Amino acid sequence: MKKQFVLITGANDGIGLATAKAMLDRGFAVIIHARNEDKAKTGVQRLEKGNAGAELIPVWGDLAHMDQVLRLAEQVKQVLPIGNGLDVLINNAGVYEDKRTLTADGFETNMGIKHFSHALLTLKLHETLMVASAPRVLMVSSGVHIGAHLDFEDLELNKGWSPSGAYAASKLANSLFAAGLAQNKDWDGIWTCSLHPGVIRTKMGIRVFGVGGEPLAEGAKTSVYCATATGLESQNGGFFAHSRPAQGSPLIYNKQKVVEFWDLTLHRLKNYTANSSLE
């Protein structure tokens, strides 16, 4: 039986690291992503303690730079053994900004890192995912996406920017993207969802929710469930919380809006998806 491989973005600490440990415990080979090489290797070292013989592979790339996202996708393809696909992609990395800033490519930072960079990474790994027998793509969203406002004509979030509003809008974008993957025929055979990890005791969790929250291990549970549970076919593109299907924003069930957002995303990424059949 082939080893199963999972890529987790932002896996050097926090919920990402906890998710990596939980996936290791389930027998997966884990590809650990972080912003730079040192952080990725530190994440691997943290997991190696008490996990002798575990297959841990560091990869890196700053999601605030699209050229690094493209290189990251190539790294992932290169570290997989010949004949192996990527079984699970968990788009987990996040950011919470106190003031409006832009990425190196001119995207509003929340939207750029959490949505556009993860969307580009996912698109570039399409063929690699398709090689796997039952691939899955998970977008780590948040329950706050349900009340988010997202103006499709203002994805730079120029109007009425606030830290919490920008964070919530980017999480709604994650859930819309997952719904878009599920509706797109090119992605038939790849199961996808978005999910709420919970209110977790992380530095970002305290900044977003203003409370301590639950232990890190709790933050991994819904991702691990969505990555490994059977019988979820009917929930393709859906939203999960507390390791079960949950009600998401009405927008993610509006097929017209999902397609509109998908097309907008591809349009914004066209400079980075050249020569791609998914353009």
Say if CB 148 and CB 168 are below 8 A apart. Answer: yes
Q: What is the CA radius of gyration of the chain?
A: 17
Phi/psi of residue 102, nearest 5 degrees: -120, 150
Strand 239-241, strand 88-91: pairing = unpaired
**Residue 153, token pair as written in the block:** 């004509």
3-state secondary structure of 130: helix
Give the integer Cα–Cα distance in Å for 100 and 166: 9
Bridge partners of 244, per DSSP, are 241
96 classed as catalytic: no
State the CB neighbour count (10 A cutoff) for residue 65: 18
Q: Is 27 left (phi over 0), alpha (psi -120 to 50) or beta?
A: left
Give the integer Cα–Cα distance in Å for 219 and 222: 7
Selected catalytic residue, list 167, 225, 253, 272: 167
Beta-carbon contacts of residue 95 (< 8 Å; ≥ 6 apart):
109, 110, 113, 114, 204
Beta-carbon contacts of residue 215 (< 8 Å; ≥ 6 apart):
200, 201
3-state secondary structure of 6: strand
Catalytic residue annotation: 167
